[in-house]
Structure 1
Amino acid sequence: MFTDPRQNFKMGDVWKDLASGTVGGAAQLIVGHPFDTIKVKLQSQPAAAPGQALKYVGAMDAVKQTIAGEGSRGLYKGMGAPLATVAGLNAVLFSVRGQLESLLRSEPGAPLTVKQQTVCGAGAGVAVAVLACPVELIKCRLQAQGTLAGSGATTMAIRYGGPGDVARHVLQSAGIRGLFKGLVPTMAREVPGNAAMFGVYEALKQLFAGGQDTSSLGRGSLVVAGGLAGASFWLSVYPTDVVKSVIQVDDYKNPKYSGTLDALRKIMASEGTKGLYKGFGPAMVRSVAANAACFLAYEVTRSSLG
């Protein structure tokens, strides 16, 4: 007998996914933001001029210089914007994914295949990319201003006082469209990245459980699955994230890059392939730790809500 997929939707499930995604997002941010700050600093530092050294020679050097110049609070710079929104972004990510799961199920409660979870992840990535772009832009400009201040880059001639100050300057310089600078690479990161992450997460859970029923998995298994799933996100899209970062910290009035492909060409021309993997180390550490925390918090919260 044919079942209308709309019958699988339950508003209670939507709110459970929203609440669980919010908790998961908060856990992800608290654990991962310092690593993300170092990642953005390394990604956004300009190529060294002939005869000059890079500002940061590696991740640990970036950590040392950040703490020496800004204190430990410098590792949490730019956290205001994502703190106010990342929980909401994860709520959207997990709730959209949950509703796509409902559409793909043959009947309520039926488990999905790894391929179906991959499709759900990609669809959720589309939704979250549009919301994430302005948040990412504000965060990156705050995180990178210390890196670019001494490089002669006009981007950071203005010293931002906080997320609201960044938004005000961007709106004055480029209007609403300015907040969506870097939307193309953000979309190119979120769609395949979330497809990989949710697909790998489901595959690992089924592997650990020995079948499609993963309801009895312990927290240790969820931590491992979540951490490796997060790593798969960045392994699949890291160069795209580098392009996104340099575009989002670029100057509005005198831009260095005319678009995504131009940024890619210029990075490759000046730094080669390694320029597309700046900050890769801290990004991978962050992805494992932050996503392990995120998925565990989501699963535990979702389970407690019934």
Structure 2
Amino acid sequence: MGDVAKDLVAGTVGGAANLIVGHPFDTIKVKLQSQPTPAPGQLPKYAGAVDAVKQTIAAEGPRGLYKGMGAPLATVAAFNALLFTVRGQMEALLRSHPAQPLTVNQQVVAGAGAGVAVSFLACPTELIKCRLQAQSALAEAAAASGVALPKGPIDVAKHVVREAGMKGLFKGLVPTMGREVPGNAVMFGVYEGTKQYLAGGQDTSNLGRGSLILSGGLAGAVFWLSVYPTDVVKSVIQVDDYKKPRYSGSVDAFKKILAADGVKGLYKGFGPAMARSVPANAATFLAYEITRSALG
């Protein structure tokens, strides 16, 4: 099996592990990010992450925490296979000879290149996911217009295409790239840097699973620390109405979030995102490394 095929398979397994572990956290993150700013004197829909979990389970049952999972589940293989495959090919281009380990700086470049590639797949996938996750926030607007809310990923996609054409599926592409490119650059750089630190050198082939879990968890945490406000902007744009949008673009969304909620508005849902990032990314990298090693 060639290196590309190995990265495809290992990336698929890693992505599945990430989704299973992390999706409930992601659901709460999007609910908090997309809830409207309350009128003066009124309380927000969710008091915080724990309250969002309680309200979601009360209204929809535990399955509500996995709402919107169909869209990323349908594309998780392609997304993570693409991420790790492009990263692998970038690594091959950066090496002066096949057996040479990459430096941390080279891993940063490889991660940025992978981020560009996956942005075009992540944008429509996350738009569908976010609109399903945020349906409770969209319900009032839908009821006022007499339009029934979409029932699942395919229904959401059809609704979006009817509203805005195929280009509507790529709403939020700019902030998606603003998240994926620097985020993956930092994530892969931190992952490799942590592995090399734990291994005491560039040869990390003998690291145990505990070291891989630690490296992957730390890398995931740094990803979200570095790009979280961009993710908030992406989420509000992607759940925005197509016919009567509140935001004209990323800069406008950024300004309006700051004006309405201050800097803290750019960190709505930060707790669930960070709680998700460590176990989900640890699972991703561990599953990837184990699978890649098993494939030879």
TM-score tier, shorter chain, comes to: over 0.9
Equivalent position of 2:124 in the other structure: 134
Residues 82-101 of structure 1 mapped to structure 2, 5 A cutoff: 82-101=72-91
Instruction: Establish whether residue 168 from structure 1 lines up as the match of residue 158 from structure 2.
Output: yes
- Give the Cα separation in 1 of the matches to 2:131 and 2:148: 10
Equivalent position of 1:270 in the other structure: 260
Equivalent position of 2:36 in the other structure: 46
Identify which of 100, 104, 113 aligns with 2:103. Answer: 113
Equivalent position of 2:63 in the other structure: 73
- Per the TM alignment, residue 87 of structure 1 is displaced from its structure 2 partner at its CA by 2.1
Q: Give 5+ residue unaligned stretches, structure 1.
A: 1-10
The answer to whether the 8 A contact 1:155-1:250 is kept is no
Q: Which amino acid aligns with 1:295?
A: F
- Give the Cα separation in 2 of the matches to 1:248 and 1:140: 7
Partner of 1:204: helix, strand, or coil?
helix
Partner of 2:266: helix, strand, or coil?
helix
- Give the Cα separation in 2 of the matches to 1:158 and 1:216: 55
Q: Which amino acid aligns with 1:130?
A: F
The answer to whether the 8 A contact 2:142-2:148 is kept is no
Equivalent position of 2:235 in the other structure: 245
Number of corresponding residues: 296
CA gap 1:107/1:298 in 2 versus in 1, 3 angstroms: same
CA gap 1:153/1:261 in 2 versus in 1, 3 angstroms: farther
Identify which of 173, 176, 188 aligns with 1:198. Answer: 188
CA gap 1:246/1:153 in 2 versus in 1, 3 angstroms: farther
The answer to whether the 8 A contact 2:95-2:101 is kept is yes
Q: Give 5+ residue unaligned stretches, structure 2.
A: none
Partner of 2:201: helix, strand, or coil?
coil
Taking structure 1 as the reference length, the TM-score comes to 0.95
- Give the Cα separation in 1 of the matches to 2:235 and 2:162: 21
- Give the Cα separation in 2 of the matches to 1:156 and 1:232: 43
Instruction: Establish whether residue 226 from structure 1 lines up as the match of residue 188 from structure 2.
Output: no
Partner of 1:179: helix, strand, or coil?
helix
Aligned alpha-carbon RMSD (Å): 1.4
- Give the Cα separation in 2 of the matches to 1:110 and 1:153: 60
**CA displacement, residues 180-222 of structure 1 (integer Å, 9 cap, x when unaligned):** 0000000000000000000000000000000000000000000
The answer to whether the 8 A contact 2:258-2:266 is kept is yes
**CA displacement, residues 34-58 of structure 1 (integer Å, 9 cap, x when unaligned):** 0000000000000010111100010
Q: Which amino acid aligns with 2:163?
A: S
Q: Which amino acid aligns with 1:187?
A: M
- Per the TM alignment, residue 157 of structure 1 is displaced from its structure 2 partner at its CA by 5.0
Instruction: Establish whether residue 304 from structure 1 lines up as the match of residue 294 from structure 2.
Output: yes
The answer to whether the 8 A contact 2:22-2:276 is kept is yes
Partner of 2:15: helix, strand, or coil?
helix
- Per the TM alignment, residue 88 of structure 1 is displaced from its structure 2 partner at its CA by 1.3
- Per the TM alignment, residue 292 of structure 1 is displaced from its structure 2 partner at its CA by 0.3
- Give the Cα separation in 2 of the matches to 1:129 and 1:91: 13
- Give the Cα separation in 1 of the matches to 2:238 and 2:186: 24
Equivalent position of 1:212 in the other structure: 202
Instruction: Establish whether residue 19 from structure 1 lines up as the match of residue 9 from structure 2.
Output: yes
Give the share of equivalent positions with the same residue, in percent: 75
Partner of 2:245: helix, strand, or coil?
coil
Identify which of 162, 168, 176 aligns with 1:178. Answer: 168
- Give the Cα separation in 2 of the matches to 1:75 and 1:267: 26
CA gap 1:179/1:152 in 2 versus in 1, 3 angstroms: closer
Taking structure 2 as the reference length, the TM-score comes to 0.98
- Give the Cα separation in 2 of the matches to 1:150 and 1:109: 58
- Per the TM alignment, residue 130 of structure 1 is displaced from its structure 2 partner at its CA by 0.7
The answer to whether the 8 A contact 2:213-2:285 is kept is yes
- Give the Cα separation in 1 of the matches to 2:194 and 2:150: 43
